[in-house]
Amino acid sequence: MKSGLRLSDLAFSAALAGLVAGAFVAQPMAGALATRFGSRRMTRVASVAACLTLALPALAPSLAALVAATALLGFTRGATEVPMNAQATLYELRVGAPRMSTFHACFSLGGFAGAGIAALLLRAGSPAAATLAGVGAGCAVVSALVSRHLLRDTPHPDAPDDHAHLSLGTLLRDGALVALGALAFCGMFGEGAMADWSALLLERTTGAAPAAAALGYAAFSVAMTLGRATGDAVIAAVGRARTLRASGVLAAAGLTLALVAPYAAAVAGCAIVGLGYANLVPILFSASGRRAGHAGIAAVSTVGYAGFVVGPPVIGGLSQLLGSLPIALVVVALFALAIAAGAGVVSRET
- Does residue 207 come out as left (phi exceeding 0), alpha (psi in the -120 to 50 range) or beta? left
Statement: residue 49 has pLDDT above 60: yes
Position 309 scores a pLDDT of 85
The residues, any chain, with a CB within 8 Å of residue 268's CB and separated by 6 or more, are 219, 257, 261
pLDDT category at 104 given cuts 50, 70, 90 is very high
Percent of the chain at pLDDT exceeding 70: 93
d(CA 327, CA 220): 20
The residues, any chain, with a CB within 8 Å of residue 215's CB and separated by 6 or more, are 202, 267
The residue among 193, 203, 163 whose CA lies nearest residue 25 is 163
pLDDT category at 15 given cuts 50, 70, 90 is confident
Average pLDDT over residues 297-322: 89
Tell me what the pLDDT averaged over the chain comes to.
Answer: 88
CATH architecture assigned to 168-348:
Up-down Bundle (1.20)
Average pLDDT over residues 307-316: 89
Structural domain boundaries in the chain? 9-147, 168-348
Condensed to tens digits (0 to 9), the pLDDT of residues 222-266 reads 999 999 999 999 999 999 999 999 999 999 999 999 999 999 999
Position 164 scores a pLDDT of 45
d(CA 255, CA 96): 34
Statement: residue 171 has pLDDT above 70: no
Statement: residue 51 has pLDDT above 60: yes
d(CA 141, CA 135): 10
- 180 in Cβ contact with 303 (< 8 Å): no
d(CA 223, CA 232): 15
The residues, any chain, with a CB within 8 Å of residue 171's CB and separated by 6 or more, are 177, 178, 181, 296, 299, 300, 303
The residues, any chain, with a CB within 8 Å of residue 72's CB and separated by 6 or more, are 22, 53, 56
Q: Of residues 348 and 318, which shows the higher confidence score?
A: 318
pLDDT category at 162 given cuts 50, 70, 90 is very low
